[in-house]
Structures are given as structure tokens and as C-alpha cells.
Chains A and B, each alone.
Chain A
Amino acid sequence: MNPYVTSLQAIVYREGLRFIQQRERFAAALVRPLLWLLVFAAGFRAALGLSIIPPYQTYITYEVYIVPGLCGMVMLFNGMQSSLSLVYDREMGSMKLLLTSPLPRWWLLFCKLMGATAISVAQVYAFLAITAAFGIVVPPLGYFMVLPALIVAGLMLGALGLLLSGFVRQLENFAGIMNFVIFPMFFMSSALYPLWKMAESSEFLHAICAVNPFTHAVELIRFALYGQLNVAALGWTLLATVVFMAVAIYSYNPSRTGVARRG
């Protein structure tokens, strides 16, 4: 078999195996968005009035609105979690094993990214199944149409995690980075409120939200769940993926000595 395919299969399989062994990680990945959906959304339903905006063709409840944002949240946290695993692997030495393989380093990093994305997508489908059990459903076709959108969003957020893992030197520094990345990305996006709502409060914040790649990932997912393609969101998300991946590959360049420190 082609060595590229062999390595891809092995890395994705190992990431999957690792995820299955960490049951608490899976539980945490589901409990977090469910809390937002069942508690936060219930509290904010009355406070936030939503007008009809694409892709919705009628008035919707707040719970329906935030489901795509919470899918993005699952992927954002998973991207950061996989980044944390990479920093841990580097500290523990197992990253060396990967990086001394005779295959190109960019390919090995891409395989890691594919593994993280596969786990992200599985988590989102588990979340969507639970939301459906609570009666929050999208058109049946949407569950299929959203798959490519989830893959693109997962790749973008995984690449961001990869990038961070290339620059973060120690596990202790990671919590701070997560606070500076996850929360701003999540809150300054269309995950919890439509951008026009943000524009009413602050044009400046609206401008930031509009260029936030997470906003576009969420919109890509939102439109796909309703069987539509948001071309602009797809373009932005793909562009962010390419940029994040390019910087991540640079960050793992051996001449940067960022990969392995003195042992």
C-alpha cells in the first residue's frame, strides 16, 4: 500500500483509539454545548429577539439559532484539545517518533489534522443526535449536507490548534492561550447572536466578528444544516485553513528548533 495512505490510516486510527480511551473527554465535549443549549439558551430566549435571517425562512427559537454555533463550539474545543495533546506529546517525547519518520513533515502534520477533524465530526454528530432527542431538529437532508461543512470547519479549527501547538512551548502556558483564543473567537462570532445584533451595539465589534474565521465556520455549518451553501463562508474558512496550516508547518520546521528541546 502507498506509504502516504498507510501513515494516514495509522495516525487517524490512533487518534480515534486515543479518543475512545478518554471517555471523560467525550462526555465533556457533549456536556459543554448541552449546558449552553439547555440552560443558557433557555435564559436568553426572552432577552434576544430574532428576526428572519437566511438561511431561516421563518421565525425560529433561540435554541434553534444557537445549534450551529454550538456545533462550532464542539469543534473549536476539540481543535484546542488536540493542540493540547500535541504539546503534551512533545513534552513526553512521543512527538519525536512522528517527526523522525521518513515521510514529509507537512504530510504527517496533515494526518494529525485529519485525525483531529474526524473526531470533531463524530462529536458534532453525537451532539446533533442529542439535540434531536430534545426536539431541536433541522431538515433531514441537512444532516447529510452538513458533513462537508463540518469537515472544512474541523480542518480550519484543527489547523489553528496545530499552529498554536507549534508555538506554545510548555503545557503550563496552554491554559492562558486557550483563554485568549477560545473565548474571544467564540464570543466575537455569530455563534450566539446574529451579526446584525452585534452591529446595533458596536460597529467596531461587528467588524471584528465579520473577519473572525470562526464566524464563517459557524455560518458555513448553519447554511449547510438547512441545505444551502454559503459560498463566502466557505471561501473564508478555506482561506483561514490554508493560512493556519502554512504557519503550523513553518512552526514545526526543524530550523526553528521549536519541535524538540534539549532532552
Chain B
Amino acid sequence: MSGLEVSGVSYAYGSRLALQNVSFKVPSATFCALLGPNGAGKSTLFNLLTRLFSTPTGRIEIAGHDLRARPRIALSHLGIVFQKPTLDLDLTVRQNLKYFAALHGLSGAMADKRIDLCLDRLDMLERSGEKARSLNGGHRRRAEIARALLPEPDVLLLDEPTVGLDTAARRGITDYVHDLAKQGATVLWATHLTDEIQHDDHLVLLHQGRVHATGTARSFCGEMALQDRFLQMTGASPL
């Protein structure tokens, strides 16, 4: 069963096409980087994958479930970390996670157990009683990843999750999510930062709403550095 499959998806804002016939597959237990410069259509694609938007063209399958035909089942297999932080800053970390657990139908002892487990995995258990406002950016992101893992999703979507974080926090979160993929999660990680991508990762290069390349990062860049290859493919030049 495929982790995530997108086929023939297009999307337009009025007359402006944001995505054109986008197709790619992310196999199970794979870290796939959705690489693209700003304005490539990554966030639009994420909005479609999370059903915040919908489009009549193409097909999206999450853990084998058609998002259009069976949206609720498909969404129940999805963990999401949005680009903008979505923690309620006036609630504690635990309250934030409890609220999210309830939105996924988890309550009582079962929810508490899952919350403890997920926070522990992200080294956040000791901070569960703190208000989200008091956490730094890295810890807030960790709390959001713990939250995304609560319903035990098969597919994890992260939309530029390291934006605004310092180098250490970026490294910690990037490594942790790579480990999750090794443990069986299917990960789609949107980014424009090539240093977050490892050679064995799958890669989808999105540029101007089209998929320009798919494959492993190693096969994509060949002898070149990934960043140079990326700049070459997208026609951008460093300042």
C-alpha cells in the first residue's frame, strides 16, 4: 500500500494556475522532501493534501484511501505540522494536545497515555504543564510534532517546519523526523532548504507549479552539490 500518491492534480487561483498536473508517489516508510523555491506551489499542494482546499482534477491517496471519496478515513491517517505555528499560546502543552486528541476522537486515559508517549518521544514530557507561550520556537515545533503523532498517523506532512528556528533546533527536528521515517512513517517534508535533505531521501522538485524531477536526492544531484543543482534547475542564482 502506497504511503502517499498524488496523480494529475492541478489547481488555480482564479485564472492563475498554481499547480499543473502534479503527480508523484511517496512509498511507505520514506522521507520525501518536497523541494521548491518560494511560490513554487508547495503550500497550495499542502492545502490540497490536507483537504483545506479541494480540486476536481486529479486524485490524492493517503495510505491507500482516496481523499475525495473517503475524506474522513484518509484524514484519520494523516499527521500534519503546518508552516505557521498552530498552538494555542494561552493553553499548556498538555491542554493543546488534549484538545487535538479530542478532535481525533481520543479521550480519557487512552488520550493521556498517547500524550505522555508522544511528548516523551520528543523530550517534551517535563514541559507538558507549561503554557505554549513560554516555550521557545524549537520547543513549540517539537510540541506540534508530538501533537501530529498523537493519532498514530501513517503519513506525516510537514510544511516548512523549521522556518524561524536556529541551527541546533533545525538539526534536531530534521534528524528526528528522518528517524521517524526509518521507523515506518511516510513523511512528506516541504522545504526550500537543501541542507535538510539527506542523500538517500526521496525528492520531488516543484517549481512554478510543476514537478520538475522525482527520485532520490543522490540521483537528482549526481556529482553536483544539491544546492547547486537546485539553483540550476530552478534558474535562480545566489546573490
Contacts and interface: CB of A to CB of B under 8 A. Distances in A.
Interface string A80-96: 00000000000011101
A7 interface: yes
A100 B80 contact: yes
Interface stretch (B45-53, B114-122, B202-210, B222-230): B45-53
- Most chain B CB within 10 A, of A17, A92, A99, A260, is at A260
A9 interface: yes
Name A's interface SS: helix
A103 interface: yes
Interface in B99-137: 99-100, 102-108
B78 A100 contact: yes
B82 A263 contact: yes
B44 A98 contact: no
A92 B83 CA distance: 11
Interface in A1-44: 1-3, 6-7, 9-11, 14, 17-18, 21
B41 to A, nearest CB: 9
Contact of B107 (A6, A108, A262): A6
B54 A101 contact: no
A73 B104 CA distance: 35
- Most chain A CB within 10 A, of B43, B84, B105, B106, is at B105
A45 to B, nearest CB: 43
Given A7-B103, A96-B82, A103-B103, A263 B43 contact: yes
B75 A102 contact: yes
A185 B104 CA distance: 38
Interface of A: 1-3, 6-7, 9-11, 14, 17-18, 21, 92-94, 96-104, 108, 254-255, 257, 259-260, 262-263
Given A10-B98, A262-B13, 8 more contacts: A10-B103, A14-B91, A92-B84, A102-B72, A103-B72, A262-B43, A263-B84, A263-B159
